[in-house]
Structure 1
Amino acid sequence: MKPLTTGYIRNIISGKLIHGKDDLLIHHGAYRLKQVRHPHTILFLKRNIVRWDRLKPYFPLAIVTEREMEITGLTEGLTIIKVDNLQESYWEFINNYRASINIPVIAVTGTAGKTTTKEMIRHLLSFSRKVAHTNSTNNSRTAHLSYLLGMDETTEAAVFETAVGAPGDITNAAAYLKPTIGIITNIGEHHLNYCKTLEGYIAAKGEMCEALQPDGILIINADDQNTRKLDLKNFKGTIVKVGIHSRSDFKASDILFSSEGMYMTVQHKQKKYRMLVPGLGEHQVCNALSAIAAVYQIGMSLDDIAVHFRSFQTLNKQLQLLKGLNGATIIDDTWSITTTSLRAALQVLKAIDEGKKKIAVIGTITDLGSWGYKIHERAGELIAESKVDVLITIGKHAKIMADTVSQKNDNIEVHSFNNHILSYELLKKIVNEDSIVLIKGDMLSESIKILATLLRKKVS
């Protein structure tokens, strides 16, 4: 955070100095007590302090409040600013700080590929700029303030994930970050427990259009069916399309799987550029195209992009290829699971080492609410249409996938278990050097995590 004095902040928010001093330097911001972790923090406090002794280690501290406060015995190192409306004052502070940061800010959303695309952008930009970015996948509402204040006068670009767990999430993130470039990687079927319907989920992703400024740039996947359903007629900015199969501003062709990753030819403005993107799958090509389009918009040449992409490090547990149990090839894709990412994983399983036995170990899809049965059934249909030889599901709801596959494809051997124990015993018997095992699930599933660890071990 740029260091600001309490006097400067007080003038921004039209506050009255009740206690303390105007020359206290502020380096951090918070709107919850648990967010106060350092001295020199300004806390926008909604309620009265119950235990002052818990805040004492973080003095000097400034508090903005709309309440009367009792401060007996705790005067040294404490500044109190009183305002008429705490909420309005908080957003005056946020808006003023964001307005002082004049850099490209990229926001990435989508059902799948958010983190990978964000990391690709961060990697490419980091060769020439200091980049602020989302920490791992921490894209919750409570993180937006820290990411905003993490930008200062030395920051030259920023890229953040804006997830959608419920309607309003992107709008909330944009209120802090005010992105200049927005990316929607794809729109599948997820978080239907809060968005209620697929149409509601599409609309929630579509908040990105309103999040951008009138001169903003929106990057979308022209191949994605649900993205085509977005209402873009009122968007006043620039739309940039990426894709493989559709007419696009950045289009990939001549795609080739290799041990190093995905080779592709990127076509842009009637010129072609051959590139290698580390990572497996056609979806990885789409992620890369979105990243390429974003960094190109802020001045990076396609020749430089091609050079720097080669050193990109793929993310752990995202279609990670390795040797494991009984010498088998293991594809560890246990970061998360949606029908969108499941389709991509099955395509990778199909594409590599076609002569080997293909085994898919699939866990439960979460955050579906009343849509749970339908989405698991749809996932089963995807598996039934794939080239899987053996399907093993883990979890009560995942059994819906197994039952669907049993009904639709007699050629796939199907097993269903509640946890990892019996599934591992079966895998030890049927897996060998001529097998490829895809394990796909959610990072929060203990059974999936344990089984993935066991599969990654080379000795049974």
Structure 2
Amino acid sequence: MKKLTLLEIAKAVGGELSNKEFENNTIDSITTDTRKIKKGDLFIPLKGDNFDGHNFIDKAFESGAYCSLSSEKIESEKPIIYVSDTRKALRDLAEYYLSLFDIPVVGITGSVGKTTTKDMIASVLTQKYNVLKTEGNFNNEIGLPLTVFNVTEDTEVVVLEMGMNSFGEIHNLSKIARPDIAVITNVGVSHIENLGSREGILKAKCEIFDYMKKDGTAVLNIDNDMLSTLEGKTEFKVLWYGVENKKDIYADNIVKNGIESISCDIHTASESFNVCIPIPGEHMVLNAISSTLVGKLLGLTTNEIKRGIEEFVPTKMRMAVTKTEKGTTIINDVYNANPVSMKSGIDVLSGASGETVCVLGDMFELGDYAEKMHYEVGEYASQKNIDKIICIGTISKAMYKGALDNGGNAFYFETQDEFIEKGIENLIKEGDTVLVKASRGLHFEKTVDKIQEVK
């Protein structure tokens, strides 16, 4: 991180420094977690439903922090910058810090696929640039600012994932990032419980444009029924990508190579090329063509783009294929789940050789649509002729019913522990290919670990 003076920080966050004698002193690292404090850090205490970081300011100083923000009066000889809202101050400071660098910013959001798309775009851009990208789940109003603070003088491009649960969140993230390129992968049903409708989700995702640079470019999926409604209605430049619809860039001649990879031809305005994507699933083709479009916008050659796609390594627990000692193939896709990604995972599984087994858990934040959406996933798995459909969790009872009603060989367990205790050894056999997928909060990596342990 570039060094900032305390006066500079106070001005950026609209705060007041406790003692002017500290104005010219500097910090070069920022944290919100006292467990990660390093000597000389700026500590930003945040408040949540069940915690208040202000209770740990003394501990932060004891651990080596040099300065702290605070929205409460503190008796301390250490430098304190007083603000009205530490969470907003974190965002304001990140916005100021990123403005110090004249480098391209790529912002990415969407109901499905934003993390994989972010990682593939970064893989492509890394062929030419020194890229900083969002790591893990640092895609919210806390994680994105902390990512921004990792920008250095050596950073040439920033790739930022933007997640949200409700209106206004992506607006705030866009204000920090001010993207040159804004990518929306799709608009589905994730978070519909909070946003009310798919139209509401579209509105929330489009907040990414609120602070896009005036000469910026939106990169949108023309195949998505909601995003396509924006065609011809925007005041900014839009480039469209798709498979079903041939617009600015598209792909065809798609060849599935089992659960190992998928190949396609990508067509830009000026040329075409073939690429082998090292992760299975037709949805990966959309990721590849959006990454190609971003690469072209930032001046990469076709060879650089092709190499970036073919060298792509996904985030842990996203379509990760491994084989156990028993000879069982596991498709570990437990990072998260929604109806679209569930069906994409089932599509991949259906192309596997041998017996196919899906172990599926609840999908969260679907509100009044939950029962219907779970039923449809079970129905879909049956239609794809998955040999064993294992449904786990309270809401997944509807998934189990959807599978049974459509002739599926389905099994139901109330909890993950029940399946581990009673189901794994009986239902998963040598040579099976097993897809494991559920919402992040269920931590289905526990099931993956247990399947790997079976002798």
User: Considering the TM-score relative to the shorter chain, is it more than 0.5?
Assistant: yes
Q: Which residue number in structure 1 is paired with residue 114 of structure 2?
A: 114
Q: CA deviation at 1:387?
A: 2.3
SS in 2 for 1:141: coil
Q: Is the 8 A contact 1:210 1:235 kept in 2?
A: no
Q: CA deviation at 1:256?
A: 1.5
2: distance between equivalents of 1:389 and 1:41? 55
Q: Is the 8 A contact 1:322 1:456 kept in 2?
A: no
SS in 1 for 2:142: helix
**1:265-414 → structure 2 map (5 Å cutoff):** 265-324=265-324, 326-353=326-353, 356-407=354-405, 409-410=406-407, 412-414=408-410
2: distance between equivalents of 1:327 and 1:82? 59
2: distance between equivalents of 1:89 and 1:142? 11
2: distance between equivalents of 1:304 and 1:208? 28
1: distance between equivalents of 2:423 and 2:56? 55
Distance 1:213 1:70, change over 3 A: closer
Q: Which residue number in structure 2 is paired with residue 418 of structure 1?
A: 414
Which string of whole-angstrom CA distances, capped at 9 and with x for unpartnered residues, describes residues 212-256 of structure 1? 222111111121223224x46553322111111111222111111
Greater Rg over alpha carbons, structure = 1
- Tell which deviates more after alignment, 363-372 or 48-57: 48-57
Which string of whole-angstrom CA distances, capped at 9 and with x for unpartnered residues, describes residues 144-189 of structure 1? 2212222132211111110121122211111211111111112221
2: distance between equivalents of 1:180 and 1:90? 22
Q: Is the 8 A contact 1:36 1:58 kept in 2?
A: no
**1:53-64 → structure 2 map (5 Å cutoff):** 53-57=58-62, 61-63=66-68
**Unmatched runs of 5 consecutive residues or more in structure 1:** none
Distance 1:16 1:375, change over 3 A: closer
SS in 2 for 1:173: helix
Q: Is the 8 A contact 2:4 2:28 kept in 1?
A: yes
SS in 2 for 1:347: helix
Percent identity (aligned) = 22
The amino acid of 2:368's aligned partner reads S
2: distance between equivalents of 1:46 and 1:308? 38
The amino acid of 1:385's aligned partner reads Q
Q: Which residue number in structure 2 is paired with residue 130 of structure 1?
A: 130
Q: Is the 8 A contact 2:90 2:142 kept in 1?
A: no
2: distance between equivalents of 1:188 and 1:299? 31
2: distance between equivalents of 1:432 and 1:81? 60
Q: Is the 8 A contact 1:26 1:40 kept in 2?
A: yes
Which string of whole-angstrom CA distances, capped at 9 and with x for unpartnered residues, describes residues 359-400 of structure 1? 222111112233322322232332343222322211121010
2: distance between equivalents of 1:455 and 1:46? 39
- Tell which deviates more after alignment, 394-403 or 55-64: 55-64
Q: CA deviation at 1:50?
A: 6.3
The amino acid of 1:157's aligned partner reads V
CA-atom RMSD in angstroms: 3.2
Q: CA deviation at 1:60?
A: 6.4
Q: Is the 8 A contact 1:107 1:183 kept in 2?
A: yes
Size of the alignment, in residue pairs?
447
Q: Is the 8 A contact 1:215 1:236 kept in 2?
A: no
Q: Is the 8 A contact 2:34 2:56 kept in 1?
A: no
Q: CA deviation at 1:204?
A: 1.3
Q: Which residue number in structure 1 is paired with residue 50 of structure 2?
A: none
1:453 pairs with one of 449, 452, 455: 449
Which string of whole-angstrom CA distances, capped at 9 and with x for unpartnered residues, describes residues 255-278 of structure 1? 112265211111111421111111
TM-score w.r.t. the length of structure 2 is 0.86
Q: Which residue number in structure 2 is paired with residue 161 of structure 1?
A: 161
Distance 1:59 1:228, change over 3 A: same
The amino acid of 2:305's aligned partner reads I
The amino acid of 2:375's aligned partner reads E
Q: CA deviation at 1:290?
A: 1.5
Distance 1:305 1:92, change over 3 A: closer
Q: Which residue number in structure 2 is paired with residue 179 of structure 1?
A: 179
Q: Is the 8 A contact 1:182 1:208 kept in 2?
A: yes
The amino acid of 1:455's aligned partner reads I
2: distance between equivalents of 1:86 and 1:364? 35
Q: Is the 8 A contact 1:209 1:235 kept in 2?
A: no
Q: Which residue number in structure 2 is paired with residue 440 of structure 1?
A: 437
2: distance between equivalents of 1:65 and 1:360? 49
Q: Is the 8 A contact 2:356 2:433 kept in 1?
A: yes
Which string of whole-angstrom CA distances, capped at 9 and with x for unpartnered residues, describes residues 113-150 of structure 1? 11111111222222332222112222121122212222
1: distance between equivalents of 2:371 and 2:315? 30
Q: CA deviation at 1:88?
A: 8.9
Q: Is the 8 A contact 2:252 2:266 kept in 1?
A: yes
The amino acid of 1:130's aligned partner reads N
**Unmatched runs of 5 consecutive residues or more in structure 2:** 48-52
Q: CA deviation at 1:27?
A: 1.5
Q: Which residue number in structure 2 is paired with residue 26 of structure 1?
A: 27
1: distance between equivalents of 2:84 and 2:389? 62
Q: CA deviation at 1:357?
A: 3.1
- Tell which deviates more after alignment, 111-120 or 368-377: 368-377
SS in 2 for 1:275: strand
Q: Is the 8 A contact 2:145 2:176 kept in 1?
A: yes
Q: Is the 8 A contact 1:242 1:250 kept in 2?
A: yes
Q: Which residue number in structure 2 is paired with residue 245 of structure 1?
A: 244
The amino acid of 1:390's aligned partner reads K
TM-score w.r.t. the length of structure 1 is 0.86
The amino acid of 1:366's aligned partner reads F
SS in 2 for 1:276: strand
- Tell which deviates more after alignment, 217-226 or 51-60: 51-60
SS in 1 for 2:293: helix
Distance 1:327 1:148, change over 3 A: closer
- Tell which deviates more after alignment, 419-428 or 40-49: 40-49
Q: Is the 8 A contact 1:220 1:242 kept in 2?
A: yes
SS in 2 for 1:444: helix
